[in-house]
Amino acid sequence: MDSTGEREGRKRSLDELSLEQLFESKGVPKWREQLTVRSFVVSLALGFFLTFIAMKLNLTTGIIPSLNVSAGLLGFFLVKTYTKVLEKAGMLKQPFTRQENTVIQTSVVACSGIAFSGGFGSYLLGMSKEVAVDFDQADDVVNVKEPSLGWMIAFLFLVSFLGLCSVVPLRKIMIIGYKLTYPSGTATAHLINSFHTPQGAILAKQQVSLLFKSFTASFLWSFFQWFYTAGKDCGFTAFPTFGLKAYENKFYFDFSATYVGMGMICPYMINISLLLGSLISWGILWPYISSKKGFWYDAALSDSSLHGLTGYKVFISISMILGDGLFHFLEVLFRSTYDMYNKQRETVVPFSSEQCFPDHPAISFDDRRRTNVFLKDQIPNSIAFIGYILLAVISIIVVPFFFPQLRFYHIVVAYLIAPLLAFCNSYGCGLTDWSLASSYAKLAIFIFGAWAGIGSGGVVAGLAACGVTMGIVSTASDLMQDFKTGYLTLASPRSMFVSQIIGTAMGCVISPVVFWIFYKAYPVGDADSEYPAPYAKVYRGIALLGVEGFASLPKHCLSFCLVFFLSAFSICALREVAKYKDWRIQNYVPSAMGMAVPFYSGSYFAIDMCVGSLVLFAWEKVNKRQADLYAPAVASGMICGDGIWSLPSSLLALGKVQPPICMKFLPRLNDANLDTYSRG
């Protein structure tokens, strides 16, 4: 047992390193004061801005990096600039606090997150005729649902708020009792806290300056490229960097600032995994299967038919995704169960500034202050229970009007098991920072699709159930991340809950509108279009497997699927064993999910992202500290500039304004024929 003197000594040493002592002189605003009009105006603007970027990525590769740095920097910069102007004019009534900054961050991320959880690049688009036409099975009217702005907005409002109600009663046990880390929420809190220190404010100003410079350069570069894209396969995005044969197999650098920026943000091993998956699929596997054309599948089939080469691409990529998802599901389930078993005797006790947990020899000043604030403003559990039951009843009545294939009893079952899934995902996310929302959603496709049956519209039923599940599970883990951020920035749980609700409501309107702009301006979902939305076919393929079984697979495809499923599972297992044993190879084992992404999408973005990694690597060699401080801001600016160009580009396409030039690359023989034709 430690003596009282030793315990007090440790307490003093912890307090000497306290972050909250820097803010002790600043009072904590009441929860209503943290919710300001200006914060939600800024959230609305940034939410629309980042939703456009997330939607573009969702409809191209399906890979969406964290936009927290962009949201945090831009939110801080906009409100700080606004308050400085008012302060100089003598009109400032309320200073800008880190709690208000946290409210902005929460609302913006909740808003832009609907671009993913809303399924615009996956399950919603997978219901459409555009995607169904490439599948020879289940393309009848009962298994197709065309996107429409009205029903998409209404459906999202029905399913996106239940997840918030399902985990509110668990906030204290998750954040204080189990002390789950929620790495993304913790990192966001540290970012916000740093902005509001004198040194952090100077650094944030420099980061914002670099972000705007890279944003401007990226936007102008995208604008310049547009002039050369007057036709199919025109422009810099069709530059055959490694030759025309490599270009046919999607090996080329497409000069995308977005993917180069993503490469600077994503870990090196993820980018290498993408490139490795590209080499295995587009460099070896697909050319080999193409050589079997006429033997394994009908040579007369169109390129888009799922009974041909495209079928191998879709279902093999699905098998890897499912193998990776199953492993992480089992891993998180095991770790969560084991962790809860070890902590089941711990008790959560509200304490004053002088009290300590009995099992801890010392409690820092930071923890004492944060816990007192977190426990001060309670959210009544009755509100969460009533809200969940009320929203569930409304959904059970209304959702079948949008999707007659999904019966009321299907939705009842979904809402009975959803709180359990929401808890599992929230707990696992707190341990590993890995949200398994899409894995739970894919499981729902199988269960409810098979339950409904293909004759009763099982494909649409499965995809709709996927939407219900993803909407609940995804928002639940997002809210718990926000509670962790609020805990570390002394933002009230009530203000976090309200800002999450408002941000989600914004997203339920903004995301469908942004998707509708893309949908009307481009042939979204077409494999040859600028926005192929590869995961739409993946999700519809999963639904087909659920209702038809393996009969829908091309010849030998099941064998390939089994091999790649087991390979993905084994790779994930090797990574975890290497981490547990602390083997040196742990940093060199690829990501199975990263390898699976280019199997259907292509290799071009993997090459771009590896270029981003090379840029970051060179920067770190020259000045590592500078790269650590400024690279995320530069990369975010590159992503934002290229992404926001999608708005004027879409408006030009809607207005039938075409670029003036087509820059295309042809083989020498074709070029000679073209010269002869033009002279004749």
- pLDDT for the residue 37: 93
Average pLDDT over residues 145-153: 94
DSSP 373-425: HHHHS---HHHHHHHHHHHHHHHHHHHHHH-TTS-HHHHHHHHHHHHHHHHHH
Over the stretch 348-387, which tens digit does the pLDDT of each residue have? 444 433 333 434 445 678 888 888 889 888 888 888 899 9
- Report residue 340's pLDDT band, with 50, 70 and 90 as the boundaries: low
pLDDT (average), residues 271-281? 90
Q: Name the pLDDT band for 151 (thresholds 50, 70, 90).
A: very high
pLDDT reported for residue 8: 47
pLDDT in tens, 154-176: 999 999 999 899 888 888 888 88
**Nearby residues of 589 by Cβ (< 8 Å), 6 or more positions away:** 269, 571, 574, 575, 578
Percent helix, strand and coil across the chain, each to the nearest 5: 75, 0, 25
Who contacts 254 (Cβ-Cβ below 8 Å, separation ≥6)? 236, 237, 238, 239, 604, 605, 607, 608
Measured torsion, CA atoms of residues 190, 195, 200, 204, in degrees rounded to the nearest 10 = 110
What pLDDT does 2 receive?
A: 47
| Number of neighbours of residue 291 by Cβ within 10 angstroms | 10
Rounded to 10 degrees, what is the CA torsion of 355, 361, 366, 370?
Answer: -50
Say whether 12 sits in a helix, a strand or coil.
helix
Q: 182-214 pLDDT, tens per residue?
A: 877 887 888 888 888 777 777 777 887 888 888
As given in the structure block, the two tokens for residue 133 are 């036409």
Q: Sorting pLDDT into bands at 50, 70 and 90, what band is 646?
A: confident
Q: Residue 15: its pLDDT value, please? A: 42
Give the pLDDT confidence score for residue 432 in this predicted structure: 63
At 552, the pLDDT band (50, 70, 90 cuts) reads low
- pLDDT tens profile 470-496: 989 899 888 998 899 999 999 999 999
SS (H, E, C) 590-623: CCHHHHHHHHHHCCHHHHHHHHHHHHHHHHHHHC
Task: Name the band, by pLDDT with cuts 50, 70 and 90, for residue 669.
Answer: low
Across the chain, mean pLDDT equals 83
- HSE on the CB side for 323, CA within 13 Å? 26
- pLDDT, tens digit (0-9, with 9 covering 90-100), for 578-604: 888 878 887 888 888 788 888 877 788
CB 179 within 8 A of CB 347: no
When pLDDT is averaged across residues 204-233 and rounded to a whole number, the result is 86
Q: Taking residues 635-653, what's their average pLDDT?
A: 82
Q: Give the residue-averaged pLDDT of 310-338.
A: 79
pLDDT for residue 102? 93
The Cα-based distances of 241 to 53, 250, 279, 583 in angstroms read 26, 10, 16, 38
Q: What is the pLDDT of residue 329?
A: 75
Place of tokens 């599992």: 424
Report percent pLDDT > 90 for the chain: 27
Q: Is the pLDDT of residue 570 over 50?
A: yes
pLDDT band at 610 (very low <50, low <70, confident <90, very high): very high
| DSSP state for residue 27 in the 8-state scheme | P
pLDDT above 80: residue 418: yes
Whether residue 458 is predicted with pLDDT greater than 80 in this model: the reply is: yes
Contact 426, 458 (CB under 8 A): no
User: Would you state the pLDDT for residue 364?
Assistant: 77
